[in-house]
């Protein structure tokens, strides 16, 4: 039986291909990894100059990445932008933004939020509706949500941020999957009191290995996070990649259209084999079925890695296939495994 990605901190995640290979054989090239929500078709990158690998990242690189993020995400000039080595690195620091403040997290969602606040003694609870976030000093929404694709409308998010500001609190909005859902994004409102927006670079662009993300907010909050990150937190190549790709609107549109087309084709396949999709954020689909873990294990024998959830034994999440050949492989494996 294939194990999920072995958790270092008690939280299971997607990935863990090396463990899957150890359990079921093959090589990296033999496997179709659908266990994450990362664009399977990476954006093209020009070769980096050698100096980016040799020298510590200078401030000009940081400022170029900030300017690119401002243009790419539509962040107002008054807002502060902090590059970070991925959103996960920022999540680890969130309890220190308001030391001792308890958090309420709209769930079920990415497990690291509750885990980080609890592990550092701040305290956190998972709640099941936006209304239940009202009384918490810190509220967290992942929008669109991982793993079920739930979207909270922009009006609700803004009202909650204003309420947090009035009470001296903070709303954190994780928009790791929002590049494909601009109507729910509040990046253009970053800088308003009570709001901190987290943006992932690697998921949409298919370059998660670079480890790049951004915190968008007021200067006080981002300065606290910057102090906690310390100097040279983001590599020169990651900053250069962000600077090169984020302002390119034509590229963003092309990537979004390709992801949408692949997602629609994949939904068709999942439905054709009888699986019920209950959640969707384009870069992944969540299905509900009896014996989800068993199906995950049978697919692993076909060298296809998917994501199951211990707390929700009927859930199985499928990341996005890159092309028709991968979808055909997935469909044949599903037919053989169901």
Of the pLDDT bands very low, low, confident and very high (cuts 50, 70, 90), residue 7 is very low
Report percent pLDDT > 90 for the chain. 93
State pTM to two decimals: 0.94
Give 222-240 pLDDT, tens digit per residue: 999 999 999 999 999 999 9
Distance (Å, whole) CA 228 – CA 6: 27
The answer to whether residues 117 and 265 touch, using CB atoms and an 8 Å cutoff, is no
Distance (Å, whole) CA 27 – CA 303: 9
Distance (Å, whole) CA 235 – CA 240: 9
Of the pLDDT bands very low, low, confident and very high (cuts 50, 70, 90), residue 8 is very low
Q: Cis omega (within 30 of 0) on the bond before 144?
A: yes
Q: Give me the chain's average pLDDT, please.
A: 94
The answer to whether residues 201 and 214 touch, using CB atoms and an 8 Å cutoff, is yes
The answer to whether residues 141 and 173 touch, using CB atoms and an 8 Å cutoff, is yes
What is the structure's pLDDT at 121?
79
Distance (Å, whole) CA 184 – CA 173: 11
| Assigned fold of 57-248 | 3.40.640
Vertex 263: Cα angle to 261 and 267 (nearest 5) = 120
**Cα 208 from chain centre:** 10
Strand ranges inside the chain, DSSP E: 32-33, 80-84, 103-106, 124-127, 138-142, 170-174, 195-200, 213-217, 276-280, 284-288, 304-305, 307-308, 315-319
Distance (Å, whole) CA 186 – CA 74: 9
What is the structure's pLDDT at 123?
87
What is the structure's pLDDT at 11?
67
Domain map (residue ranges) of the chain: 17-40+250-337, 57-248
What is the structure's pLDDT at 2?
38
Beta bridge partners of 131: none
pLDDT at 115 over 60: yes
Give 281-325 pLDDT, tens digit per residue: 999 999 999 999 999 999 999 999 999 999 999 999 999 999 999
Q: Which residue has the higher pLDDT, 143 or 1?
A: 143
CATH architecture for segment(s) 17-40+250-337 = Alpha-Beta Complex (3.90)
φ and ψ of 114, to 5 deg = -60, -40
What is the structure's pLDDT at 10?
54
Q: Which residue has the tokens 């296939």?
A: 321
Q: What's the whole-number mean pLDDT along residues 52-73?
A: 97
Closest listed residue to residue 296, CA positions, set 325, 321, 318: 318
φ and ψ of 215, to 5 deg = -105, 130
Closest listed residue to residue 218, CA positions, set 175, 177, 171, 181: 171
Give 33-54 pLDDT, tens digit per residue: 999 999 999 999 999 999 999 9
Count of other CB atoms within 10 angstroms of residue 161: 25
Distance (Å, whole) CA 151 – CA 280: 10
Residue 15 region, left (φ>0) first, then alpha (ψ -120 to 50), else beta?
left
Give 167-189 pLDDT, tens digit per residue: 999 999 999 999 999 999 999 99
């Amino acid at each position: 039986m294939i194990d999920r990605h072995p958790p270092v901190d008690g939280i299971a995640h997607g990935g863990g291909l090396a463990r899957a290979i150890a359990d079921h054989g093959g090589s990296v090239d033999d496997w179709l990894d659908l266990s994450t929500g990362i664009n399977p078709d990476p954006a093209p990158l020009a070769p980096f100059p050698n100096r980016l690998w040799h020298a510590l990242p200078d401030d000009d690189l940081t400022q170029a990445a900030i300017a690119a993020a401002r243009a790419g995400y539509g962040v107002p000039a008054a807002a502060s932008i902090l590059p970070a080595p991925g959103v996960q690195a920022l999540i680890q620091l969130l309890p220190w933004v308001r030391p001792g403040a308890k958090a309420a997290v709209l769930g079920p969602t990415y497990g690291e939020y509750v885990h980080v606040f609890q592990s550092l003694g701040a305290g956190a609870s998972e709640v099941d509706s936006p209304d239940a976030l009202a009384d918490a000093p810190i509220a967290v929404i992942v929008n669109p949500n991982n793993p079920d694709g739930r979207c909270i409308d922009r009006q609700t998010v803004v009202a909650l941020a204003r309420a947090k500001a009035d009470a001296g609190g903070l709303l954190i909005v994780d928009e790791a999957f929002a590049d494909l859902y601009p109507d729910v994004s509040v990046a253009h409102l970053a800088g308003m009191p009570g709001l901190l927006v987290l943006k992932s670079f690697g998921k949409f662009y298919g370059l998660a290995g670079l480890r790049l993300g951004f915190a968008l907010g007021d200067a006080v909050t981002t300065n606290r996070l910057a102090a906690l990150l310390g100097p040279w937190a983001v590599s020169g190549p990651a900053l250069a990649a962000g600077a090169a790709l984020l302002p390119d609107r034509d590229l963003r549109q092309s990537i979004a259209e390709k992801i949408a087309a692949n997602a629609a084709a994949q939904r068709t396949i999942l439905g054709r084999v009888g699986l019920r999709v209950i959640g969707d954020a384009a870069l992944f689909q969540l299905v509900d079925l009896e014996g989800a873990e068993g199906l995950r294990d049978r697919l692993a024998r076909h060298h296809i890695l998917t994501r199951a959830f211990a707390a929700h034994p009927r859930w199985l999440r499928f990341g996005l296939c890159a092309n028709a050949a991968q979808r055909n492989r997935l469909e044949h494996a599903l037919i053989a495994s169901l």
